[in-house]
Amino acid sequence: MYKRRLLMAAAVAAAAISTEVRAEDVFKIGSSVGLTGYAAVIDRAWRDGLAVAADALNERGGLLGKKIEVVVEDNHSQPQDAVVGYRKMISSDKVNLFDSGCVSAGNFAAASFVVQASLPMYLCSILPQREQEQVWAFSFLAPPKFEIESRYRYLKEKTSVRKIGILYDPTPYALMMKGLGEQLAKDFGLEVVAQDTYKPDDADMTVQLGRINAAGGGAVVKIGQGGSTVTAAKNIKQLGLDKMLLLSSNDDGSIFKQAGEVLGDRFLFVAPPVQLPKQLKPGPTKDAVDAFLKYWAPKYPDRDPTNGARAWDSMMVLAKAAEIAKSTEGKAIRDATEKVPAYQGAYAVFNFSAKQHVGITENPFLIGKFANGELVSAE
């Protein structure tokens, strides 16, 4: 009887120790994403991009020999749910780092206690506002001026349109872009004759578009994502504005196809190289895009790769940081991320430093259009 108990105790102890060893061999990445709600399109792609990258890195031996495991929590695009999810991932899942989606408010709400836990935050969204939180956060989102500059440059160089209207939604990123849109117009010889706002779920924008047309605007620079772009395209057609151009923010390819089918070559959009892979010439950008698509395309042949590519890039930057840090400890990864040399990703070049926590420092965007059933370069 005594021996049996002793054996059982030994078995339990062995199981406990082996679990502990297994836990040490895993690098857990927590991801708070809005799988439902307004951010669902982007954040589902972000989640899938992380999963594809984790598979690719695990094939190569993981992160310094540790298997990568991605823990995903749906925040329903709500900050309150994001707070609960972040808390769970810190205290129950014991994640080593966060690589979260584009629900800015959720990431901001959690930033203070993520910093207290000394965990780096890689973000699809913009950085939190407070300096002490920015120290631990790294943004993989392009600065808003790049999207604006690409569109303005196209208008200046390829069209005769000089009067434009800005149509924007009230999200933080869109508001930043709208402010820059007003400032930068003069540099490109453009005049903003009207600006109007809309809500992402608005079913009609004829009033706003009518105002832009009445003010003499020849092109609408639309700032914001989602189905509203298709609504705007349909409204332009319904109003009979036969010469008006619609230039959209970067978004999912399915949105571009729908809007392109309505307006034809009068619909233009901002696209990173990975969204127009057939247009790429041999070189580092094409190599990076191909490396990503090798894993993405077989798994998701019908899906737009744009936001998945950004998530993929964030994981590759993490892998580089771990190599530099020679450690998977939070502080070491944070410090090493600042030292990762310029990394050519599938979405853009990422160039983090101690003073630069927004990784994209060079404009990666091209202008695209929808022609012959596919997305192609308009330049």
Partner 1 sequence: MTSHATISIEPVGVRWQSMLPPLAVLALAGLGLLSSDYVVTVLGFAFIYAIFCTGLNFFMGYTGQASFGQSAFAAIGGYGSAILCADYGWEPLLALLFTMAISGVAAVFVGYPTLRLRGHYLAMATFALGLIVYEISIEWTSLTQGYMGYSGVPPLGIAGFDLVTVKQQLVALAVVALFGVFVAARLRQSRFGRALASIAGSEPAARALGVDIARYKLIAFVIGALYASAAGSLFAHFVGFISPEVFGVTMVVQSFAMLYLGGIGTMWGPTIGAVIVSVLPEALRGLKEMQDIAYTAILIFILIFAPRGLAGLSALFKRDRAQTREGA
Rule CB under 8 A: choose which of 27, 46, 98, 108 binds partner 1. 108
Return the range that interacts with partner 1 (CB under 8 A); candidates 100-108, 152-160, 297-305, 325-333.
100-108
Rule CB under 8 A: choose which of 26, 35, 215, 376 binds partner 1. 35
Query: Among residues 348 and 358, whose Cβ is nearest to partner 1?
Result: 358
* Rounded CA separation 26/69 (Å): 7
Query: Among residues 177 and 375, whose Cβ is nearest to partner 1?
Result: 177
CA 156 distance to own-chain centroid: 28
CA 230 distance to own-chain centroid: 20
Q: What are the DSSP calls for 320-374, one per residue?
A: HHHHHHTS--HHHHHHHHTT---EE-SS-EE---SS--B-B-S---EEEEEETTE
* Rounded CA separation 242/108 (Å): 43
- As measured in angstroms, the least distance from the Cβ of 114 to partner 1 is 12
Q: Does residue 130 bind partner 1 (CB under 8 A)?
A: yes
271 contacts 254 by C-beta, under 8 angstroms = no
SS3 304: coil
74 contacts 82 by C-beta, under 8 angstroms = no
Q: Does residue 206 bind partner 1 (CB under 8 A)?
A: no
Query: Among residues 84 and 239, whose Cβ is nearest to partner 1?
Result: 84
Rule CB under 8 A: choose which of 101, 128, 217, 368 binds partner 1. 128
- As measured in angstroms, the least distance from the Cβ of 200 to partner 1 is 11
Binding mask 63-92 for partner 1 (x = CB under 8 A): ----------xx--xxxx--xx--xx-xxx
Q: Does residue 114 bind partner 1 (CB under 8 A)?
A: no
From the number of C-beta atoms within 10 Å of its C-beta (0-12, 13-18, 19+), residue 35 rates as: middle
Query: Among residues 19 and 129, whose Cβ is nearest to partner 1?
Result: 129
Please, which residues have CB within 8 angstroms of residue 217's CB and are 6 or more apart in sequence? 163, 164, 165, 193, 194, 244
Query: Among residues 163 and 211, whose Cβ is nearest to partner 1?
Result: 211
Q: Residues interacting with partner 1, by CB under 8 A?
A: 35-36, 73-74, 77-80, 83-84, 87-88, 90-92, 104-105, 108-109, 111-113, 128-130, 133, 170-172, 175
